[in-house]
Every structure is written in structure tokens, then in C-alpha cells.
Amino acid sequence: MVRVDGSGGPNSLIQARGLGKNYSRGGEQIQVLQALNLDVEEGEFIAFMGPSGSGKTTLLNLLGGLDVPSAGSITVAGDEITHMSRSRLTQWRARHVGFVFQMYNLIPVLTAFQNVELPLLLTNLSKAQRRKHVETALGVVGLSDRMHHFPRQLSGGQEQRVTIARAIVSDPTFLLCDEPTGDLDRKSADEIMELILRLVKEYKKTVLMVTHDPVVAARADTTLHLEKGVLVEADRLQVVSSGGAR
Amino acid sequence: MKFLGLIRANLFRKKIRFILTIGSFAVALFLFGILAVVRVAFSGGVDIAGADRLVVINRTSIIQPLPFAYANKIKRIPGVKEITYANWFGGVYQDERNFFPQFAMDVDNWRKVYPEFAIPEEQWQNFVNDRQGAIAGAATAKRFGWKVGDRIPIKGTFLGGVWEFNLDGIYHGTRQADDETQFWFQWKRYDEQVPAQYKGHVGWYTVKLEHPDDSLRISKAIDGEFANSPFETHTDTEKAFAAGWVKQFGNIQSLIMWIGGVVFFTLLLVTGNTMAIAVRERTGELAVLKAVGYSDRFVLLFVLCESLLIAVFGGALGLGLAKLFTLGGDPTRGLLPFFFLPGKAILAGLGVTLAVGAASGLIPAIGAMRLRVVDALRRV
């Protein structure tokens, strides 16, 4: 069960303690996240909501090792990532994190197959093994018949499926989805959410997702709200960071 | 190897830009190749000049003659191994534009002094025994379609008349840069036919030394021997003589360096700008590569690799075209006997290509390496 009060045990897959992030803009310090605690267990599906600028994406970037916090620590599967060097963090990301972006961010000159294969090129897998993994991943997202299509030959929903296949192909510890349905129509968004739910239920994936859409957030096990850098559990509406209750 | 697909896909992403960039390199390297050919054309004689040979000319000017009698005096100087001589003929074959150098030469010692010119022994003996004989370089024979046994009329210019020759042989150079455009005939015939005031004189002597290290001493000895005579001499190494000849055309080397430098600097700006644009428009993609685990170093090498491949493709194309151009032969009808693209120039061209490719890709590559994923994704 996700906890935001810092009371999670050592078995938490993801553990953030006293997490803070400040930006400097025009000489002014902006505090995006404030002493935030978070414990996520394996197989959980968490949605983060909140107004623009509340720090949702910043939190996701910190948890995914794309950015470093100004304060606090993050431990994932026993590895404290906060003090890792840039190169170690890159290696860690390759092993542990699958990213799904709002704008898909596929490489337009590569086919769906080649896009999904990208993370595997960094491994020691043989060509045949890579092919098998890619075909499996594309099969999971239902695009076996589109693997040799280029992104421009796919619909938005299909592109996002390719992104999800790329995110799961190396079997990462957890998935980070930043507005995965933000650029899709309702039908395509529903299909993507079904796919993510399948990854959680059937493949026991841990998923952390940022969304603006309450309908999409409702599909998650738990929805957490971020407001002014403070994490709030939606169903309890209780501020559990150091900021106290409100 | 497994990243080749990724590199190839990126190279061909914008086909027109790819072709134009390759074209920029190809044009620059073609020009480089042609400049190298021109450099060789002017200084080829300097590069291959024998280090163990001296050239003795009239101190006043090369167009002033020297007495034939000097040959024996020079031969007696210690350290002199062989001596030969020749006169410039300067005749016209059919048309004044059909230029090739013609020498009235000494048949007795010529081959001992110039061993680099190969000629079948039988042809040489026929030539020696034929007072009207001649030997042509392979390039000149090919140019005019001459065969051994042909009768070749050459109109004398300052000597007048039509001089007819039997082509007894064709010589080949044993090195790539050897001049195969010359036309030789016997000095004795020349001396017999020229007006009285020209008889008993040669245009220059070529002296072969026992040891190249003796060149300075022997040069001084030769010039000292004839000092204060009506025909004072000026002796120099064959290399210095050839270099002096080239200098008459101006500082070709410096001119070529300047033109080449400007071309490559322009190329650097063009390709550097192209690579910068190519990287900038792929910021998001590079960020995704980093997000999924590609290291900063990989991204640096990835961008550099693209830049180098473009350079190598374009450079090889340009140098290949330059080589093809030279295979067509000297376009000046004999004014440039050394007309070829040397292997060293091809290697230098490829070296310069790689340097420009690396330099043009370096700044964009460093930018890509330093790219922060979160910043890049925010911009997308």
C-alpha cells in the first residue's frame, strides 16, 4: 500500500525521504517539491495529479533518475540513486526504469521494431534474442502486425503502444508514465489505460503515472495529489508531508 | 555493429541535406586533389630530382651555351662519376600547341646518368647506330600514336628547317613521377647540322657524383675551374635547379596552401553549421536515448560518427573524382609532364577530411553530450 507519511517499511520498492527540489529562475529560488515522502510497493499503480507547475513531472524525473533532488534521498529496490554519478545513473535507468512520454518521443527514422529494440542494443543479448524480446513486447501491446511501420505510418494510440513496448522490452523494475494519454482521444486513451492495467495485473508491473485526467487517474490503485510541492493522498485529503494537515 | 542501423537511419534522415553535405566535402576534396596535382605538376621534378646529380649551366643564363670541351675537365674533378650533356631543341611537331621537350643528347653516357629511364636494349642500340634516330617517352608516343619505326618530322624553330627522325625506341620511367614526355635525338647530329656559331657547344651538363655528400665541394670545384673564363659556370644540385625553375612561376606551394586553407575553412563552417542544425532538431530524440540508458559518451561518439561518415563519404568521392580526372592525362598537351594524383596526396586528403569531419562534429557532439534529459524533454 502506497504511503506518503514516511512510514513505509524496508520492503518498499521505491522509497523517497525528505525529497526536495528547488529551481533557480532569474536569481529567485523556486521550491517545487518540499520534504516529500513516498513509499511504493511492488505491483502498485499510482497516479499523480495536480495543477500545472505543481511538480508532478519533476517528481517523476527524480524517481526515474533523470534529475537529482536538492534535498532528500530516493532508494529503489535497495539502490540509493540520489548520490549516483551521471554515468552510473544512466546505467541504472537502463536496467530499472521504463519511460512512457506524452509525446511518444519515438525516433521517426526507425521502425516500430527498431524503436523498441533501442534499449536492448545496450545489452549483451544476441540479435536473435533481441528480436525475440522485441516481438514479445510488440505482441503484448498488440502491434505484432505493425512492427515494420515507421511512426508516421501509425496512429497516435499505436505510437503510444510502441512507446510502452519500448518501456517494457527490457523488463524494468518500474514504469514511469508522464501523461501517457494526454495527446490521445478518449477511445485511444481508454485502450492505452487498458494496456497499462494489463501490465499491472498480468505482468505485475509497478507503474507511476502523471495525469491531468481524473477518468484516467481513477483507473490507478491510488491517486496522489501534488499541490505546491506537497503530496496529498486524494482519498484521505490529508497532507502528510512535513507541511502538516490541512 | 549493432548500432549501424541507428547511425545509417540518422544519416539518411534528410536525404537532400545529406547529399548536399556530402557534395560540399566532395567538391572541396576534388579541389584539394586538383591542387595537389598542380603542385606535383610544378614541383614533381623537384621531388624526384636525383640527390647525386649536379646541373652545370652558363653563369649568365641557361639559354647561353657552354663549350663541349668542358666535359673532360669536369670529368677529371675527383668525386665525379659520370657526365652527360644536352641541348634544348624547341621544335614544333605539326602544330605549335603540340608541346613536348626535345633534347639533343649525349648517347654515350646518358643512360649512366639517368638510369631511371628504361628502354629495351635492342631499341637503344638501333638508336645509337642511327644518326637520324630518336627516342620518345611513352606518354608522348601514346599522345601522338607513334610506333617504333615511324618517321617523325619536327620543324626547327630558332634553327629552322624540318628535322626528320626515325623513332627507334620508346622509353618508360621506372617511377610514377618520371617524365615520359621527352624526345631525344643524338647530339652529334645536332652539332653537325647547326650553324657554325653554335657548333661545339652544349646547353648544360649533368654530373653524376660518387657520393651525394660531395655535392657542395664539387659544385665549387666546377665553378672554380671555369671562373674568369668567357664561359663561367653555375653549378647546383638537380633538386635546387628544378626548384629554381619552378620558382619562375611564383610561389605555387604557398598559393596552393592558401587556396586549400580557405576552402577547408569554408567547408568547416558549412559542415559545422549543418551538424549543429542536425543535432538541434534531434534534441528530443537524443534525450530519449539518454533516458533509456545511452551514456553521454555514447551520444558524443554517435554524433561524431555521423559527422565523420559524412566527411569520409564526401572526401572519398571528391578524391576519387580527382583521380579519375587525372587518368584522362595532361589537359595542357604536354606543359605539365607530371600530371597525376600521388598516393601521399590521397592520404593527406583523407587525413584533412577526417580532421574537418571531426572538427565540424565536435561542438555539436559536445552539446549533445552535455544535454540534460529533463531540459531537452521540456523543450519538446
Q: Are residues B39 and B64 in the same domain?
A: no
pLDDT of residue B122: 96
Q: Which three cell numbers stand for residue A181?
A: 494519454
A63 pLDDT tier (thresholds 50, 70, 90): very high
Closest CA to B149 of B164, B169, B130, B129: B169
Task: Report yes or no for ipTM above 0.90.
Answer: no
**Which chain B positions have a beta carbon within 8 Å of A118's beta carbon?**
6, 289, 292
For chain A positions 185-244, those within 8 Å of chain B (CB to CB) are: none
Q: Are residues B327 and B185 in the same domain?
A: no
Based on the structure, what is the number of domains in chain B? 2
Residue at which a domain ends, from B178, B200, B231: B231
A234 pLDDT tier (thresholds 50, 70, 90): low
Q: Are residues B163 and B191 in the same domain?
A: yes
pLDDT of residue A246: 31
Question: Grid coordinates 536473435 are at which residue?
Answer: A128
Query: pLDDT tens digits, residue range B38-86?
Result: 877 776 666 656 678 999 999 998 889 999 999 999 999 999 999 999 9
pLDDT of residue B6: 87
Q: Which of B284, B287, B292 sits opposite A118 (nearest CB)?
A: B292
Quote the CA–CA distance of B275 and B47 in Å, as a whole number.
39
A29 pLDDT tier (thresholds 50, 70, 90): confident
Question: How many CB atoms within 10 Å of residue B279?
Answer: 24
In a domain, B55, yes or no: no
Mean pLDDT of B100-129: 94
Distance from CA of B363 to the nearest CA of A (A): 21
For chain A positions 40-69, those within 8 Å of chain B (CB to CB) are: 61, 64, 66-67
Q: C-alpha angle with apex B166: B165 to B169, nearest 5 degrees?
A: 120
Q: Are residues B355 and B273 in the same domain?
A: yes
On average, the pLDDT of chain B sits at: 88
Residues in Cβ contact with B336 at an 8 Å cutoff, skipping those fewer than 6 apart: B38, B41, B42, B330
In a domain, B241, yes or no: no
Interface test with B, best of A121, A123, A152 (most B CBs within 10 A): A121
Closest CA to A150 of A116, A183, A111, A122: A111
Quote the CA–CA distance of A232 and A211 in Å, as a whole number.
15
Question: CB of A98 within 8 A of CB of A167?
Answer: yes
In a domain, B26, yes or no: yes
**Residues in chain A, total:** 246
Residue at which a domain ends, from B201, B231, B261: B231
Q: Which three cell numbers stand for residue B14?
A: 534528410
* 3-class SS letters over chain B: CCCHHHHHHHHCCCHHHHHHHHHHHHHHHHHHHHHHHHHHHHHHHHHHCCCCEEEEEECCCCCCCEECCHHHHHHCCCCEEEEEEEEECCCECCCCCCCCCEEEECCCCHHHHCCCEECCHHHHHHHHCCCCEEEEEHHHHHHHCCCCCCEEEEECCCCCCEEEEEEEEEEEECCCCCCCCCEEEEHHHHHHHCCHHHCCEECEEEEEECCHHHHHHHHHHHHHHCCCCCCCEEEEEHHHHHHHHHHCCCCHHHHHHHHHHHHHHHHHHHHHHHHHHHHHCCHHHHHHHHHCCCCHHHHHHHHHHHHHHHHHHHHHHHHHHHHHHHHCCCCCCCCCCCCCCCHHHHHHHHHHHHHHHHHHHHHHHHHHHHCCHHHHHHHC
Quote the CA–CA distance of B305 and B299 in Å, as a whole number.
10
Task: Check CB contact of A109 with chain B, cutoff 8 Å.
Answer: yes
Distance from CA of A5 to the nearest CA of B (A): 27
pLDDT of residue A240: 41
Sheet harboring A230-233: ordered strands across? A97-100, A174-178, A206-210, A45-49, A222-227, A230-233, A238-239
Distance from CA of B37 to the nearest CA of A (A): 41
Q: Are residues B69 and B183 in the same domain?
A: yes
Q: Are residues B9 and B129 in the same domain?
A: no
In a domain, B182, yes or no: yes
Residue A163 has pLDDT above 80, yes or no: yes
Q: What is the DSSP letter of A66?
A: S
Q: Are residues B11 and B74 in the same domain?
A: no
Q: Are residues B275 and B187 in the same domain?
A: no
For chain A positions 77-96, those within 8 Å of chain B (CB to CB) are: 86-87, 90-91, 93-95
Backbone φ and ψ for B105, nearest 5 degrees, come out as: -125, 165
Q: Which three cell numbers stand for residue A15?
A: 522509497
Q: Are residues B91 and B198 in the same domain?
A: yes
In a domain, B52, yes or no: no
In a domain, B116, yes or no: yes
Query: pLDDT tens digits, residue range B152-185?
Result: 999 988 777 889 999 999 999 998 778 889 999 9
User: Domain spans of chain A?
Assistant: 43-67+89-237
Q: Are residues B257 and B352 in the same domain?
A: yes
CA end-to-end span of chain B:
30
A25 pLDDT tier (thresholds 50, 70, 90): confident
Q: Are residues B226 and B117 in the same domain?
A: yes
Q: In the CATH hierarchy, which fold is given to the domain comprising A43-67+89-237?
A: Rossmann fold (3.40.50)
Q: Are residues B272 and B180 in the same domain?
A: no
pTM: 0.70
Mean pLDDT of A37-43: 92
Lowest mean pLDDT among A35-49, A200-214, B87-101, B140-154: B87-101
Query: pLDDT tens digits, residue range A143-152?
Result: 999 999 999 9
Query: pLDDT tens digits, residue range B322-376?
Result: 999 888 777 766 566 677 888 888 999 999 999 999 999 999 999 999 988 888 8
pLDDT of residue A60: 93
> What is the chain A residue with the closest CA to B296?
A87
Closest CA to A88 of A68, A71, A116: A68
pLDDT of residue A237: 40
Residue at which a domain ends, from B202, B231, B260: B231
Question: CB of B360 within 8 A of CB of B366?
Answer: no
pLDDT of residue B45: 61
Mean pLDDT of A161-182: 94
Quote the CA–CA distance of B293 and B306 in Å, as a whole number.
20
Query: pLDDT tens digits, residue range B285-306?
Result: 899 999 999 999 999 999 999 9
Task: Check CB contact of A113 with chain B, cutoff 8 Å.
Answer: no
Host domain of residue B164:
60-231
pLDDT of residue B49: 64
